[in-house]
Amino acid sequence: MGKIFFTKSNRLYCGNKAMKATIISIKQEGTSQKIVTLQTEPFSFLPGQSIAINVNIPDKNILHQKRYYAIASAPGQVLELLIKDSTSSLGHTFYEHLKEGQDYTFEGPYGKIVLPETFSRADLIKVVYFLLIDL
């Protein structure tokens, strides 16, 4: 079952390079989450991976802090993140200060827990079981 969830491929982790991103749209989803669309230079990622955004909000004395967000878009599409309001002061402040046109740097993608491109029905049952055992 482990091979379904984990891969050791070097292409899954390339977090050494800081890349630039600009927020091109923000869509409110419910009361405490936003879908943020970023314009970035091209980079590869797999479903299930995340990026680390370098957060700088000088007027709130927040400098060089990293926040990790899961990528919500499919590979090959515009980069979208689902950003939830957080109870932490940094997460909440970042959430409240998101604006179209803002520039950020980010690193990634991170994460080796991904689904394969194709899998059998038996593999799908294993995935569902794995997700349900913690409930």
In a domain, 128, yes or no: no
* Residue 88 domain flag: yes
Domain assignment present for residue 131? The answer is no
Instruction: Indicate whether 54 belongs to any domain.
Output: yes
Name the domain count of the chain: 1
76 inside domain: yes
- 28 in a structural domain: yes
pTM over 0.95: no
Q: For 133, which DSSP code?
A: T
pLDDT confidence of residue 134: 52
Domain extent, residue 66, equals 11-113
In order along the chain (135 residues), what is the average pLDDT of each group of 10 residues? 39 63 94 93 85 87 87 90 87 91 92 72 73 60
CATH of the domain at 33: 2.40.30.10
User: Residue 135 domain-assigned?
Assistant: no
**Cα separation, 20 vs 108, whole angstroms:** 11
* Contact criterion met (CB below 8 Å) for 96 and 33: no
Determine, yes or no, domain membership for 6.
no
Cβ contacts of 101 within 8 Å, gap of 6 or more: 22, 23
Q: What is the DSSP letter of 7?
A: -
